Structure formats: C-alpha cells, structure tokens
C-alpha cells in the first residue's frame, strides 16, 4: 500500500496550493475566446484575520469559480483588501493613546505614517489565510482600496457627481460619535434598549417630557399637534415667559403634526441641534437653533454653571437643580432606544455640522436614455430584472430601504482614507482629480466614507492600473482602454452576506450605474451569518462562540471545514456551525481517501478506462451521470447545500457501499478507476485539496493538475443493465433483513394505514349521520379489530427483538 490508511491534510495542503499557483490555473485571460465568468471578492480588512464569515464567502465563491472553470469558462475571481478606514483609524488612535499622545497632537502626516506602519506589519496575514482556505483567485490582479487607480476612480466619480450637482455641502444634523470624533452614517447606527428615568418638567404653563434634561438649556419653543383640543387656546406663534433651569426664558408656541398627542402630555420642547426630529421641525418653521453640547460631549457656556461638564456627570446635577426649583413634576422609569455607533460602540449624539452629501433625488443620471435620480435607478435595475437578488425575498426589503433613503452623508472626520478632492482658497472652491495650480489652496480635511470607494469595487479594480497617472484620459477613456473591464464587467455574480446588502451592494449599484452606465453584477447571491451552535453570533467579545477557521482547518483539514460550511448554507439564512459537522466531513474526506486506496490496490497505476460490463458497472455509471448533471444544475441555481448532499450520498452510499463492495466479487479495476476519476472532478470544487492529492497520488496525470480539468467526459452505459443491478440490490437488501420481522413490519404498515382510513371515516360527521346504523357499528368493530392486530404485531416484534 502506497497511501496511508488515514488522510493527513497538513502534509499536503501548502504544497498543493503552490502547485496551483505555479501552474497558473487561476490566472484569467481576457483575450480568451471562452465565455467569461467573473466574481469580485468582497475585500476583507487588510489588517484583519479570517473569521468564519470570511471562510464561508471564500468557500462559496471558490466553488462557483472552480465549477465555472470546469464548465470551460475563462474565470476571473479578483481578490483584494480593504483599508477599513474607521476601524484602522480607531485602532491606531488607541495605540497612540497608550503612548500618551493623540492624533491631533502629532498631526496628520505623522499620524498617517503611524497607520502605514501598523498596516504594513499586518497586511500579509489575511492573504495567506485566504490561500490556506484554497481560494482560487487570480492573485496577479490583487487590488487594494487605496491603490492609486482606485483613488483616481474615487476622485473621478466625486468630481463627476459634484459637477452634476449630485454632491453638495450642507449643514445637516448628523450622527456624531464623540468618542471617535467622526460622523456615522444612518445605516451604521444601531439601537439598544436602555432603562432611563423619564422626567416630566414644568415649563411655563406646560408640562413637557424628556429623557435628556441636559439638552434643555436652550429650549425656547414648545411644540404641540395643531388638532390637540387640550391646547386649542394657544395659538401658533404666541409667546410666554417661563422660569427655567438657569433663569427666565421667553418661549414661543409652535404647532406641528410631528407631535403625537397621545404620548406624554402631548407637548414637548425642542432641541434642534441635537435631535433629528427636532431639527426637521425647526427647518419647517425656520426656527433658531443653538448648540448645547460640544463635539467632545461637554456642555457649552449656555449651560451656565454646568458648562464644561460631560453630559453623564452633568445630568444628575441638573435634575437636582430642577427639583430644587420645583420644576420636576414627576420622574418615571422608561425604556428607550439608545443610539450607538455600530463600529466602536460610542453613544451617538446628533450634531449640526457642515458635511458632504450625495443627493439621491436629483434627476441627473442618464439611465437607459432617461434622466433619473440615483434613487430611481437603484430601484429600476431590480424592478427591470437587470439584477437578480437571490433569494428573491430581499427585493422587498431592498425596495423599502430605497423608499426611506435619505441623502448619503459621505464625509468622515477621520484621516485614514480617500481625502475629499475639494480645495478652498478664501471663498473659492475647487473640485478636481488633481490639486489646483497656484498658491494658497487648502484641501478639505475630511475623508470619504469607506463605502464610497467600495462602491466602485467591481470596475475600478478592472481598469489597467498603469494608467493611473495619465490625467489626459477621462474616466470613460480609462474604461475603454482596459481589456479586463471589457471582458469581465458587469461581473457575473456578487456573492456576499445579506448584512451588507445596504452598506455595500446598494452603493455599488448606485455608483456603478452612475459612473459607467453598466450594472455592477448580474446576480447577487446573499448568504447568511455563521452562528455558534446555540444560535449566538460569533463575536470577539464572547470567545466561547468563536470557532477559528484556521485552527479547525489545521486540525481536521481545510476540505472538512469547507464541506461543513457548505453543508449548512442556504440562501439568505443564517447557519449554526458546531465542531461536529466538521468532524463528520473529516470522516467523509477519509472515506473518499480510502476509496482511492482501494482503487490503487486493485487497479495499480493502470489507466482508467470506461468499458462497463457488469450490471453494477452500468449502474454506477448511471448514478455518476445523474450526479454530474445534478451538481451542475444545483450550482447554477446556487443550491450549494443540495449539490453537497448529492455528492456526499453518491460517494458514500453508491460508490463505497455498493459499487466498491460488489466489485470485490467481480473486480473491474478500469471502470472503478474511471468512476473515481470522474468523481474527483465532481468533488473538486467542494474539496479541492484532497481531490488534487489523490489525483496526483494515483499518477494518472502526473503533469496535469486536477484544478485544470474540465468536466468529466460522459461515459456510455446501458439503462437496462443498470436496472438489473437495482434488482440484485433490492434482493440483497431483502436478504439482510430477517424474514419474520420483515413480514411483520410490512403488515404493521398495512394495518396502520387501514386504521387511519377507518378513523378518518368515523370522524366524518356526514358519514355518521347518513350511513346506516349497522354500517357505522361494523366500522367501529373493524377499527377495534385492527387496533388489536396492531398491538399483537408490536408485541411479537418486541419479543423477536428481545
């Protein structure tokens, strides 16, 4: 025996991957006459580590890519990494804090140097981890979100939008994270329930409710619903005097329909600077607004004696003062939703700031010959079926999201990322892909939301990078001069998690249709989250939930991990992954390994040749052809799980348990080899390492790689012969089961069925009422007889077993 009885993945995996790379089998060829197939990898954080979620996307995209190659297509799976602006910026800031300094102290340039240094030391890990998962990407086309060409594209799109009036700068209320000192987009705000005291305060003649007394210093408007009869005596615009926290104020009455008369007293005061709803009310009525809390989360001089205090510290003191002035009517416990930053967890404090926005409502996009708004185009590409979402139900949530879409705040007050290509000199503003000529220009300090650059990912990565510095070329010309773009865009499939449908998928649609006039991809396949066994999210803060794909891959083999992930996947649904599933699939790998060992034993290094003779030969070839077609069809429809099941049962049940067993009596080594050869090809997209190892160990194609093989040649078989084996198979099965028990079981089922029918009949009122008395009686007797029969069968079965 050449092969050991147990497959040891660790001995082969690295070597096999290098062979693939050296063989150039993952390299795309845009000039090929073959049909092109392309996937853009969702770029993982360049300094991150591979977690189960990334392992899942690697497996699914790798299966699609390898399968497409087998179908004879020219495949580009383009890998890349993301600069993860906010996360990285934040991390480096923390490191600086540990050294007792901060980014503002050391300045922009020094800070960016720090980031580069940090990033540089961590960049290679994620790439080698992707490779160890078996990812068959074209590494020669690896991209990075801060590559010069990608930066160029960001600037080109920004300037184009700016010139089209789609980007504007304005004072808006935004979500401010005082900890990270940056804005957070609406989609990145998460809400957490929190119990907090809810105060009812006396404000002039009114009682108002609030959970945030610390924002109330500047309040000088009381708002109520125009139809609220309780307050009919007060007119819009009336003013009155009220004694307030730091003395008397003059307040004005505002009537607005945003107020819910049933909540609290139906009256509230507003703080336009620090609340979204209040801001909108103030906008509608042209009211004054005043900042109460600064960007560090401290109270401003308007707070009087409380100025300079952090809000958490100030709140109880303010309440105390209100109490002492007899302004607190009551306080009660109340659960409200606290807004938090999804990336970093700081409490969001809305602020009014000058920010850059993308206007989603201005009709400035030429789409299919019509001038439409970004929002309309985003809707149209799905409605018209240009882009298909899998599973389809996400279309509904997508439409809902589009309908509620507000202008996209794209400026971030961090330093790591694509800087906004806007320069100022006094009153002058310059927008350009290159800095303006002349002295005294100063670039906007903000960077762009990381999703702005990610939104261009499917095509900015396909432009010839060597053209990045050629500013004579327009964006259209850049695209036109890029063979990759022509061959691979729109991409065939976007495979990603449903959790970033809005962040990323929707933004790619927005930016790509606008900038290139093409859709970014034809199909979006959305997979679910990989959860821990109990259903909990795998998260760093809860180490018990985490299964490290790298550790598991090393221990049980990457193929076992890949199979475990595929076996649990279904479109749009989360899966629970326990180590048990990995073990099962490790066993499955070993099964395949031992089929190969057996084949090697009986066939030696004889070439596989398909000359079926026995019924079993025809039978297994029949099964094999069903498998080959089935897997193709399933993968075309993204039914990964089904394809996996077919493979599993073919290999274990049909091939190992029946064909190999039966061939022990009548060995047909050449057919066995041929079947195994085809099986390896079918299995390869799912379990690339072990299949490649067997392929080479069996020495059929010493120079060729399995990864380079196209789909197996169909082998002729005879259906009647195959049917004959079905019969022998049935006979063997019948022989295995002891006679008496078999008979009893059949009888038991028959009795069971008749009991059911009788019970059904007796349960039918029509039957009871209309049928003759005797008939109903006899039915009852029959039923009882059958039940007795069943009981006796069961007792006999028990005794036979005992």
Write b or e for each residue in 599-632: b if 16 or more Cβ atoms lie within 10 A of its Cβ, otherwise e: bbeebeeeebebebebbbbbbbbbbbbebbebbb
| Chosen residue from 321, 522, 576, 724 binding RNA by CB under 7 A | 576
Tell me which residue has tokens 């789409």: 367
Number of residues that bind RNA (CB under 7 A): 78
Q: Does 733 bind RNA (CB under 7 A)?
A: yes
Q: Which is nearer to RNA, 159 or 501 (CB)?
A: 501
Residues 261-320 close enough to bind RNA by CB under 7 A? 261-270, 275-277
- Shortest approach of RNA to residue 363 CB, angstroms? 24
Residues 595-624 close enough to bind RNA by CB under 7 A? 595, 597-598, 601
| Chosen residue from 129, 210, 454, 691 binding RNA by CB under 7 A | 210
Q: Answer yes or no: are the C-beta atoms of 254 and 284 closer than 8 Å.
A: no
Residues 506-525 close enough to bind RNA by CB under 7 A? none
Residues contacting 491, CB < 8 A, separation 6+:
38, 39, 40, 458, 520, 521, 522
Residues contacting 502, CB < 8 A, separation 6+:
187, 401
| Chosen residue from 118, 168, 240, 401 binding RNA by CB under 7 A | 401
| Chosen residue from 117, 337, 474, 728 binding RNA by CB under 7 A | 337
Q: Does 584 bind RNA (CB under 7 A)?
A: yes
Residues 530-559 close enough to bind RNA by CB under 7 A? 533, 535
- Shortest approach of RNA to residue 161 CB, angstroms? 23
Tokens of 802: 């005992």
| Chosen residue from 79, 209, 297, 490 binding RNA by CB under 7 A | 209
Please choose, from the candidates 39, 59, 67, the residue with its C-alpha nearest in 3D space to the C-alpha of residue 567.
59
Q: Does 591 bind RNA (CB under 7 A)?
A: yes
Tokens of 342: 């999804």
How many other C-beta atoms lie within 10 A of the C-beta of residue 182?
27
Q: Which is nearer to RNA, 431 or 509 (CB)?
A: 509
Residues 164-193 close enough to bind RNA by CB under 7 A? 186-187, 189-191
What are residue 102's phi and psi, to 5 degrees? -150, 170
Write out the DSSP string of 47-63: T----HHHHHHHHHHHH
Q: CA-CA distances (angstroms) from residue 279 to 80, 270, 284, 496?
A: 41, 8, 9, 36
Residues 742-781 close enough to bind RNA by CB under 7 A? 742, 745, 749, 753
Q: Which is nearer to RNA, 373 or 642 (CB)?
A: 642
Q: Which is nearer to RNA, 760 or 780 (CB)?
A: 760
Residues 129-158 close enough to bind RNA by CB under 7 A? none
- Shortest approach of RNA to residue 589 CB, angstroms? 7
Write b or e for each residue in 446-455: b if 16 or more Cβ atoms lie within 10 A of its Cβ, otherwise e: bbbbbbbbbb
Q: CA-CA distances (angstroms) from residue 789 to 63, 780, 793, 797?
A: 54, 14, 6, 12
Q: Which is nearer to RNA, 626 or 745 (CB)?
A: 745
Binding mask 223-262 for RNA (x = CB under 7 A): -----------------------------------xxxxx
What are residue 388's phi and psi, to 5 degrees? -110, 130
Q: Which long-range contacts link 441-446 to residues 24+ away (Cβ below 8 Å)?
A: 443/419, 444/356, 444/411, 444/419, 444/420, 445/413, 446/355, 446/356, 446/411, 446/412, 446/413, 446/419, 446/420
Where does this chain touch RNA (CB under 7 A) — which range of 1-9, 37-45, 301-309, 685-693?
Answer: 1-9
Q: Does 474 bind RNA (CB under 7 A)?
A: no
Residues 6-25 close enough to bind RNA by CB under 7 A? 6-7
| Chosen residue from 300, 606, 656, 705 binding RNA by CB under 7 A | 656
Q: How far apart are CA 195 and CA 216, in angstroms?
A: 20
Where does this chain touch RNA (CB under 7 A) — which range of 11-19, 381-389, 571-579, 777-785?
Answer: 571-579
| Chosen residue from 236, 393, 425, 613 binding RNA by CB under 7 A | 393
């Amino acid at each position: 025996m050449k092969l050991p009885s147990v497959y040891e993945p660790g001995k082969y995996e690295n070597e096999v991957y290098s062979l693939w790379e050296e063989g150039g089998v993952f390299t795309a060829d845009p000039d090929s006459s073959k049909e092109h197939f392309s996937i853009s990898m969702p770029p993982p954080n360049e300094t991150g580590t591979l977690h189960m979620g990334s392992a899942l996307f690697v497996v699914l995209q790798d299966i699609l890519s390898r399968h497409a190659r087998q179908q004879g297509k020219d495949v580009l799976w383009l890998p890349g990494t993301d600069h993860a602006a906010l996360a990285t910026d934040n991390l480096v800031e923390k490191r600086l804090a540990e050294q007792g300094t901060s980014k503002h102290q050391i300045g922009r340039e020094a800070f960016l140097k720090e980031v580069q240094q940090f990033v540089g030391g961590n960049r290679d890990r994620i790439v080698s981890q992707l490779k160890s998962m078996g990812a068959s990407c074209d590494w020669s086309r690896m991209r990075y979100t801060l590559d010069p060409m990608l930066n160029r594209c960001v600037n080109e799109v920004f300037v184009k939008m700016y010139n089209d009036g789609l980007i504007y700068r304005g004072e808006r209320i935004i979500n401010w994270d005082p900890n990270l000192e940056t804005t957070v987009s609406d989609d990145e705000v998460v809400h957490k329930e929190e119990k907090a005291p809810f105060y009812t305060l006396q404000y002039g003649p009114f009682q108002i409710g609030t959970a945030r007394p610390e924002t109330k210093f500047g309040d000088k408007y009381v708002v109520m619903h125009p139809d609220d009869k309780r307050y009919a005596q007060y007119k819009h615009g009336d003013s009155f005097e009220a004694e307030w926290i730091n003395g008397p104020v003059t307040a004005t009455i505002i009537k607005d329909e945003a107020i819910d008369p049933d909540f609290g007293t139906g009256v509230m005061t507003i703080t336009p600077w620090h609340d979204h709803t209040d801001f909108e009310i103030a906008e509608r009525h042209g009211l004054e607004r005043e900042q109460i809390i600064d960007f560090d989360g401290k109270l401003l001089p308007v707070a009087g004696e409380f100025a300079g205090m952090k809000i958490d510290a100030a709140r109880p003191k303010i309440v105390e003062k209100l109490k002492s002035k007899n302004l607190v009517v009551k306080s009660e416990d109340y659960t409200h939703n606290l807004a938090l930053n999804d990336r970093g967890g700081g409490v969001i404090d809305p602020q009014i700031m000058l920010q850059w926005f993308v206007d989603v409502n201005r009709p400035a996009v030429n789409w299919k010959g019509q001038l439409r708004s970004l929002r309309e185009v985003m809707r149209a590409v799905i409605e018209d079926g240009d882009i298909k979402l899998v599973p389809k139900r996400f279309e509904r949530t997508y439409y809902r999201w589009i309908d509620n879409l507000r202008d996209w705040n794209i400026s971030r007050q961090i330093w790591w990322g694509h800087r906004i290509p806007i320069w100022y000199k006094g009153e002058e503003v310059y927008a350009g892909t290159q800095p303006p000529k002349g002295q005294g220009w100063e670039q906007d300090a903000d960077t762009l939301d990381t999703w702005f650059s990610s939104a261009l990912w499917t095509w900015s990565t396909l432009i010839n990078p060597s053209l990045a510095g050629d500013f004579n070329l327009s964006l259209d010309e850049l695209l036109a001069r890029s063979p990759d773009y022509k061959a691979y865009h729109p991409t065939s499939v976007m495979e990603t998690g449903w959790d970033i449908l809005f962040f990323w998928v929707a933004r790619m649609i927005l930016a790509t249709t606008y900038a290139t006039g093409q859709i970014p991809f034809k199909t979006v396949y959305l997979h679910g989250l990989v959860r821990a066994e109990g259903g909990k999210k795998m998260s760093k803060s809860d180490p018990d939930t985490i299964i490290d794909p790298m550790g598991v891959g090393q221990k049980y083999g990457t193929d076992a991990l890949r199979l475990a992930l595929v076996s649990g996947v279904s479109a749009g649904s989360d899966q629970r992954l326990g180590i048990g599933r990995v073990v099962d699939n490790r066993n499955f790998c070993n099964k395949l390994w031992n089929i190969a060992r057996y084949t090697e034993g009986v066939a030696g290094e004889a070439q596989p040749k398909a000359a079926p003779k026995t019924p079993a030969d025809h039978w297994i070839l029949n099964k094999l052809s069903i498998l080959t077609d089935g897997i193709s069809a399933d993968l075309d429809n993204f039914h990964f799980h089904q394809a996996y099941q077919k493979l599993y049962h073919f290999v274990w049940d049909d091939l190992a348990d029946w064909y190999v067993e039966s061939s022990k009596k009548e060995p047909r080594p050449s057919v066995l080899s041929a079947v195994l050869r085809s099986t390896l090809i079918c299995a390869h997209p799912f379990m690339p390492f072990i299949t490649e190892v067997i392929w080479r160990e069996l020495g059929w194609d010493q120079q060729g790689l399995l990864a380079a093989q196209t789909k197996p040649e169909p082998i002729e078989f005879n259906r009647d012969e195959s049917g004959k084996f079905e019969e022998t198979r049935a006979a063997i099965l019948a022989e295995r089961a002891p006679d008496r028990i078999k008979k009893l079981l059949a009888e038991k089922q028959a009795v069971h069925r008749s009991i059911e029918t009788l019970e059904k009949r007796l349960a039918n009122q029509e039957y009871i009422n209309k049928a003759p008395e005797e008939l109903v009686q006899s039915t009852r007797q029959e039923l009882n007889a059958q039940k007795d029969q069943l009981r006796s069968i069961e007792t006999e079965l028990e005794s036979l077993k005992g």
